[in-house]
Each structure stands twice: as structure tokens, then as C-alpha cells.
Structure 1
């Protein structure tokens, strides 16, 4: 007796549409997207990134962090850059955005691009391109970044905390979150290599130091950290921090993996990365070969930067990255 196939449920149909939209958006990104509409766009972004780096070296780290915070939450659509205005509550107000800075210099880059090509280059692409160029300034790999993203018109502050893993979250949760946006385990381990640069505020370290030192932390490194963070209740507004990597703090390299294998990571996620059986083999491989780390880091950055972008007639091209365009 012949069987009659049932029509897909509404849920299945909706899921299919969402998946189609996701893959369509990724496919519409392309290299040199602005070659006709704004040929100098990428050159202008690169020059601005270099100038800002020469004046304020830490801007390069901000560009990398911006890409992560923008793309892991729903879409690479520059929602991160929106200020609180009208019905929009800025994502910058979330505790997960603690320590992020240099947003004003994104406006510097955008203004330079706008002068050349008004309302042509999206803020979302500026986030991606500045991260690409910031990585190079930090001694990391040169990455061929696709463009063609458009800017969203809403903030995702209401769901931000459930999208961005916390530094104390379990490895199960961390891997699950990254898998949901298309990063496999090795790509996740490679992406966390961004902890090779920058610094961590004492607020996010003291849980491993007080009232007693975390036994998984190297004792000598713990002594150093207690000097950097002598107060178990640090003032969030005070400049109290430790560098992620004391050896090469401004270079994206595989020292991060060497450090965490020696139990010198600052955050619990660093320690878990080096000890969890699912991630440790990748940590060891990346620690052994800096070129291989750069290859995998490039792959991870590209996967992150192509998460569910708005393309074609979706969203808009903001004139000012801080605000949606007037309707």
C-alpha cells in the first residue's frame, strides 16, 4: 500500500526558511564587494586602522573584540555599535560588554569612508574589515575577508547574555554556543587564541584568587596575579588588570596555548580549554606550531564573521554607526 507523505509542519517549514536565509546571506558576501561602488573603501579602512594603532595601540585589540561581540549575537549586523536612543537600549549597557572601549574611533573610520562614499559602506563591514586589519597590526595572519553585510535596525541586549559565553561557563556550554553559529571544536579553540592579546580586569580574575587560590592555577603565577589584584573586591572603574600573555602581550601568537598548558591562563575557560579531553588535543597542536595556529585562527575568524549576515535589501547602510537612519 502506497504511503502518502505528510506536508511539513509549520515549525519545519519555518526552520527551512531560516536555514535558507542563513546560507543565502553567507553566499551573497563576496571578496571586493565595494570594487565598483566604493573602490577605495578597504584601503581607507586599512589606513585608518594603521593611524589609530600608531596613536592608540590598544585599538587593534578592540577591533577584534568588536567582531566577536557583534557576530556571536544573532548576526554580524553592527548591532553592537548602536547607542541607547528612543526604543533602542544599547548592547554596550550589558555586563558582558564590560571593559569594551574605543567605540568613538569606529566613528572616525566610518567618517573617513563616508567622506569618500556616502551611505555605501556598512558599519557591519567596517567592524569586519577593521578586525581583519587589526589582526595584522597585532602580528596575526592576513585574512581575506568577504564584505557585503548590511546594518541591522535593532539591539539584541535582551538576549545578549545568553548568546555570549561567560568566562566561568562550562566547556559544554561554550562549545555548544560556538557550534550553534557554525564553529567546530578546533575553530572554537583557535578563536579563543585571541586571548593571546589584551588584558583581563581583576573583577574577572579574583574568583580564582580569593578567598583561596584555585588549585588548578600555577602557584607562582597566582602569586603574581595577587600582586596585580590585591583586593578581593576590586573597583570596576579602577584600572586593575593583568595581561593575558606576559611574554608577547600585543602579538597574536600561540603563546596563549603554551601558557594555558602550564596552567597560567587567567580565566576558568582558559584552564578548561587546556584540560578538557575534547579540546586539549587541539590546544597541544596549536601550541606546537604558530603557523598552524594562524591558519586555524584565520578559519575561525572567517566562520565568525559570516554568521547570519544581513545582505541584499535587508537592513540598511547607517550614516552614523551609533544610530539607525531616520525613517
Structure 2
């Protein structure tokens, strides 16, 4: 099984949104979005877990410096890239971004940013997984700095602290609950939740006993195995995740606490009861998140290779 989200994610200045628009590449690279979609479809056909991987990549990139593809930069002899640090070390899917970028450079050299490729690829995998179909405003530029000082919320982060982290990115509590719904297509390895199990000696009473027994058995296996965060429709973007955490079947502590904390439970209940509402909210939250700290106009650059800054940058 593949790793996914442990969690995800400057205040947003209105000016940062100014040049993002749907169809930004309409005249400069008309086939840009179809080229990305083709690469995504090819990968999805053989690996449906790529949806979880790209959602996580998008979250992590946007929540460090902003949606500027800084996460994609490889480490060098003199600097450590974000992708080598903390929770980012298990992000995957970079080769898909490389594949899409190579095709885009052949069609429209130095035109489509790596940051936009991430946003478009995420949108396409969400749709392929049964999630909402939505338009992505594009026009992002790629950042010139990679920040190895990565501090993202983790699986045991209290809801109050997580709310503060999301608020600092300009996102509401409801949007936080919505974006954590990305766990509908993810997995978590035992190391991230074993402390909640009865086998730890300090069992978490908020976990369903039947789920606890199942996970205890799973985690006895060698190699730090993983469990689906959505145990019913594990590769489909839907509202089953919320229904399960209401039944105390959340795998990670942060997920289960969303269904128990008074500030987040109403949103969990609302999404569990109305799948269409979740789909619409998920699309809107992804679009808003994708604007965090976006570089536009003459800011940043358009990388030729998503893994390295352009020469002379």
C-alpha cells in the first residue's frame, strides 16, 4: 500500500489572485490541460492510489510557502529540499509531474508552470476517482526558493491547533473539515495510529472496538503495514469518510476528533448526510487552497525542469 496524507497544509493577499484565471493558457498553449489530463489518465489506469498522492502533494506544496511548486525542487549538495524534510519525505507522484512537464515543454516550451501542473493533475485525478469536476484557475508561476523548514500538522494534532493552522492560510473551519475529507482516498501506516490501539496499553476509547481489533491484528505484521482511512470506498472520492468517523471508525486521531469536537462535528454530520454538498464544498475548498501564496505576473519563473530552478534564477 502507498502512503498518503498525514495532513495537509502568509495570509492570502487579494493581489495574489489577480492573474489566476480559468483557461489562462488558451492562447499560449491551447492543449495544456489536455496534455496534463492524458498523463494523469495513463497513470490512473494502472495506479488508482495516485489520487491520494496528488492530493497530498498539492496540500503540502500550498501549505509551506504557497502553491509555487517549491516542493518539487530536488536537494543539492548545498541545500535540502522540502521533499526530503519531515512529513514531506513520504510525498510521491513526482514522476507523473515530470512526465506531464516533458510533454508540455515539447508542445509549448517555457510556458506552463509546474505549480499549475500540480493543480491541474490533482483536479483530473479527483474527477477520475468519482469526485467533483471543477475548473482550475491557472496562471501560477514557479517559486525561486525551496524551504526545508517544514512544519505541518500531524495525525495527533488537536483540532484547535489544526483550526489555527488552517486559519493562518485563510481557510475556515468548514474548509478544513472539507479538505481533510481527502482522506477518503488515503491510507495511514501503523506508526501513525498504533498509539490509539488496545495493544499500546493506552487504548483510545473513541475507537470502535471492532476496528481496534482489526487494526491490532494488522499492525502485528512486519513492515509497518497500512490501513485505508476510508474502509468502504477506499479509492472513491465521496462522503463515506465522514459517515465512518461518526461511527467511531476513524483511523487517525485527528480524523476521529473531527467527529467529536463541537467546532467541527456539525460540518462532519452535514457532509455525512449530503454527499452532493461534500462534493461541491470539496471542489470549492481545493480551488481556494490552490490560490494560497500563488505567484503571478512577473513573479517567480516558469521552470523548464520541475526539479531544479532555471539557470541564472
Q: TM-score, normalised by structure 2?
A: 0.93
Q: Which residue of 1 aligns with 2:5?
A: none
**DSSP 3-state at the match of 2:259:** helix
CA displacement, residues 255-303 of structure 1 (integer Å, 9 cap, x when unaligned): 0000000111111111110001010011000000100000111111111
CA displacement, residues 6-65 of structure 1 (integer Å, 9 cap, x when unaligned): xxxxxxxxxxxx87x821121210110001110100111011110111122222221111
Structure 1 position 90 matched with structure 2 position 78: no
1:3-82 residue pairs with structure 2 within 5 A? Answer: 22-82=13-73
Pick one of 285, 299, 305 that aligns with 1:300: 285
1:128-139 residue pairs with structure 2 within 5 A? Answer: 128-139=119-130
Taking the aligned partners of 1:71 and 1:30, their CA distance within structure 2 comes to 18
Structure 1 position 281 matched with structure 2 position 266: yes
**DSSP 3-state at the match of 1:242:** strand
After TM superposition, which residue ranges in structure 1, 4 or more long, deviate above 2 angstroms?
Answer: none
Taking the aligned partners of 2:80 and 2:144, their CA distance within structure 1 comes to 12
Q: After superposing the two structures, state which structure 1 stretch, 93-102 or 283-292, moved more.
A: 93-102
Q: CA deviation at 1:182?
A: 1.5
Kept in 1: contact 2:57–2:92 (CA 8 A): no
Q: CA deviation at 1:86?
A: 4.5
Structure having the higher Rg: 1
Kept in 2: contact 1:123–1:317 (CA 8 A): yes
Q: Which runs of 5+ in 1 are unaligned?
A: 1-17
Taking the aligned partners of 1:89 and 1:23, their CA distance within structure 2 comes to 31
Q: CA RMSD in A?
A: 1.5
Pick one of 218, 231, 234 that aligns with 1:246: 231
Taking the aligned partners of 1:206 and 1:239, their CA distance within structure 2 comes to 10
Q: CA deviation at 1:98?
A: 4.2
Q: Which residue of 1 aligns with 2:219?
A: 229
Taking the aligned partners of 1:144 and 1:71, their CA distance within structure 2 comes to 18
How many aligned residue pairs are there?
301
Taking the aligned partners of 1:59 and 1:211, their CA distance within structure 2 comes to 35
Q: Which residue of 1 aligns with 2:308?
A: 323
1:106-145 residue pairs with structure 2 within 5 A? Answer: 106-145=97-136
Pick one of 205, 213, 224 that aligns with 1:215: 205
Q: Which residue of 1 aligns with 2:6?
A: none
Taking the aligned partners of 1:94 and 1:264, their CA distance within structure 2 comes to 30
CA displacement, residues 54-102 of structure 1 (integer Å, 9 cap, x when unaligned): 1222222211111100011121000111110254311111221243222
Q: CA deviation at 1:116?
A: 0.6
Structure 1 position 167 matched with structure 2 position 158: no
Taking the aligned partners of 1:137 and 1:228, their CA distance within structure 2 comes to 29
CA displacement, residues 126-150 of structure 1 (integer Å, 9 cap, x when unaligned): 0100011010011100111100000
